[in-house]
Amino acid sequence: MADYSVWIVEYARVVEYPVGAVLYGRWNAGHLVLPYCYAVVKGEGHLAVVDTGFNYDEFGKVLADTYGVSDWQSADTVLKRIGIDPADVDTMILTHNHFDHAGGVEAFPNAHVYIQEREVSKYLWAKGLPDRLQWLTTATDPT
């Protein structure tokens, strides 16, 4: 069996996130701190990230401010704490196309990106819908 190291790194947070938005049925149960994280996996000569966080520029900042995100830190800052340079990441796995999962792709310039074809095709489909339905894509940073 191969040896792997796995880190979950926090790059931002929402300080007062409604519990009912995380645990179904727990409406009016107060708030919790919701960390924004991604995973780093190292093993068998590869360095991978699962999701990328987001950039805090332009539309990424707009979305973060809309959701009450605070304490944002760049991939460079977060990964230096565990001795990793984002340029050394060779593999990126994006679970889905929301801004907080796929909005930081540019921080990993040498990574080969994997994302489900259906995720990409459905996003492009939604972008082609009439303006009144564009709310379907509002959680995605178009840059």
pLDDT at residue 58 tops 90 = no
Q: How far is CA 50 from CA 42, 70, 125, in A?
A: 11, 21, 25
DSSP state of 111: P
pTM tops 0.75: yes
Q: Mean pLDDT across the stretch 123-140?
A: 81
CB 12 within 8 Å of CB 72: yes
Q: Apex CA 24: angle with CA 23 and CA 30, to 5°?
A: 55
pLDDT confidence of residue 70: 96
Specify the DSSP element, H or E, that contains 7: strand 4-18
Looking at residue 13, its amino acid is R
Task: Determine the structural domain holding residue 82 and report its residue range.
Answer: 4-137
Percentage of the residues of the chain whose pLDDT score is greater than 70: 96
In a domain, 143, yes or no: no
Place of tokens 């966080």: 53
Give a yes or no: residue 93 inside a domain: yes
C-alpha to C-alpha distance for 37 and 10, rounded to whole angstroms: 4
**Residue 33 domain flag:** yes
State the DSSP code for 64: H
**Within a domain: 8:** yes
8 confidence band (pLDDT: 50, 70, 90)? very high
Q: Which two tokens stand for residue 40?
A: 């780093």
For residue 117, tell me if it sits in a domain: yes
In contact, 59 and 102? CB cutoff 8 Å: no
Query: Is residue 142 one of the residues assigned to a domain?
Result: no
Q: What pLDDT, on a 0 to 100 scale, did the predictor assign at position 91? A: 97
Number of structural domains, the chain?
Answer: 1
pLDDT of 137: 75
- 78 in a domain, yes or no? yes
Mean pLDDT of the chain: 91
Residue 78 sits in a domain whose CATH number is: 3.60.15.10
Task: Please name every residue paired with 37 in a beta bridge, in sequence order, or none if there are none.
Answer: 10
Q: Is the pLDDT of residue 142 over 60?
A: no
pLDDT of residue 135: 78
Q: Residue range 74-96: average pLDDT?
A: 96
